[in-house]
């Protein structure tokens, strides 16, 4: 019967190697299982335009209801109920002479789906509303040349040509002796 080493706790070792080894409150880095959940909650990343919708000649009442219109547009695009969509403002917005621009993070629960920009433009003829939705996706990275990629054509040097000719001569001589 083999002797057990002193100070070794087999239960702790088996827990450390299980699926629950990483996570919250256990003094081990949460870069494992919780990393994906943290990434989904985070707002950093690359955003790509999914749709734009503009309304021309709207009333002041429509401007007041712009967030409800935004949630309706998002629920159609994301196929999620309007009750679950949360618009979290990114900042106060920027005011120009004729327009007010506001940006909102689109969240469903705690997961960040994208950004929504709303522009209210007040012109002489009427008021325009513009909605631009950008979905959060993985960044497009440039293609790297690997070892198997096609290399540009290079001319052979004189020494390479001579070496190749010598190899061919040697093969011819060796095959005749057999």
State the average pLDDT over residues 146-152: 64
- Number of Cα atoms under 13 Å in the Cβ half of residue 177: 5
Q: Please, which residues bridge with residue 94 across strands? A: 101
Q: How far is it, in rounded angstroms, from Cα 147 to Cα 134?
A: 36
Confidence bin at 119 (pLDDT 50/70/90)? very high
pLDDT in tens, 156-178: 899 988 988 888 888 877 776 65
Q: How far is it, in rounded angstroms, from Cα 122 to Cα 102?
A: 14
State the average pLDDT over residues 49-73: 94
pLDDT in tens, 1-54: 566 556 555 555 555 555 555 555 555 555 566 777 888 888 888 899 999 999
Q: How far is it, in rounded angstroms, from Cα 49 to Cα 87?
A: 17
* Structure confidence at residue 32 (pLDDT): 61
* Structure confidence at residue 14 (pLDDT): 52
Measure CA of the first residue to CA of the last residue in the chain; give whole Å: 67
Q: How far is it, in rounded angstroms, from Cα 129 to Cα 90?
A: 19
- Pick the more confident residue, 93 or 25: 93
């Amino acid at each position: 019967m083999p002797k057990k080493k002193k100070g070794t706790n087999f239960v702790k070792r088996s827990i450390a190697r299980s699926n629950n080894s990483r996570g919250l409150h256990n003094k081990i880095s949460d870069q494992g299982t919780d990393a994906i959940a943290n990434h989904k909650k985070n707002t950093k990343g690359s955003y790509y335009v999914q749709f734009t919708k503009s309304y021309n000649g709207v009333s002041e009442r429509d401007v007041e209801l712009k967030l409800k219109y935004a949630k309706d547009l998002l629920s159609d695009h994301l196929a999620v109920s309007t009750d679950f969509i949360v618009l979290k403002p990114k900042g106060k917005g920027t005011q120009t002479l004729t327009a007010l621009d506001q940006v909102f993070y689109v969240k469903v629960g705690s997961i960040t789906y994208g950004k929504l920009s709303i522009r209210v433009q007040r012109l002489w003829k009427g008021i325009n509303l513009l909605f631009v939705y950008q979905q959060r996706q993985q960044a497009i990275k440039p293609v790297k040349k690997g070892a198997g990629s096609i290399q540009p054509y290079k001319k052979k040097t004189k020494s390479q040509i001579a070496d190749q000719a010598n190899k061919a001569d040697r093969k011819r001589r060796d095959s005749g002796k057999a």
